[in-house]
């Protein structure tokens, strides 16, 4: 999940495009960046928890093989945080 205009140096953005491949990046808009679309929470290599209103992102994730658990979480965003901000790190074996 990437917001191109969020990079000060275009070379940093291009580095990530080269590293991951453009087809593996989900580009968000300015409004989506403001609404914290990049703030999802991974609970397994192929399972993410995402705000239910992030329909474009959630659809893309599913098309790319992820299981998406949608939750109504937008009210938490009013406090300047979302899923990743309200979870503790997990240790996985």
How is residue 19 written in tokens? 């590293």
Give the per-residue pLDDT at 88: 60
Regions of the chain where pLDDT drops below 70:
74-93
Is this prediction's pTM over 0.75? yes
Two structure tokens written together for 64:
């790319």
Res 40: pLDDT: 84
- Measured between alpha carbons, how far apart are the two ends of the chain, in Å? 25
Report whether 76 contacts 86 (CB < 8 A): yes
Spatial separation of the C-alpha atoms in residues 42 and 38, rounded to whole Å: 12
Q: What's the pLDDT at 77?
A: 61
Burial class (CB in 10 A: 0-12, 13-18, 19+), 28: buried
pLDDT of residue 32: 87
pLDDT for residue 72: 84
């Amino acid at each position: 999940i990437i917001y191109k205009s969020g990079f000060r140096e275009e070379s940093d953005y291009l580095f990530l495009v080269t590293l991951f491949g453009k087809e593996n990046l989900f580009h968000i808009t300015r409004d989506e960046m403001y609404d914290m679309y990049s703030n999802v929470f991974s609970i397994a290599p192929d399972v993410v928890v995402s705000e239910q209103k992030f329909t474009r992102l959630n659809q893309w994730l599913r098309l790319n093989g992820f299981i998406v658990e949608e939750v109504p979480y937008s009210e938490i965003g009013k406090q300047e945080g979302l899923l990743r901000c309200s979870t503790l790190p997990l240790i996985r074996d």
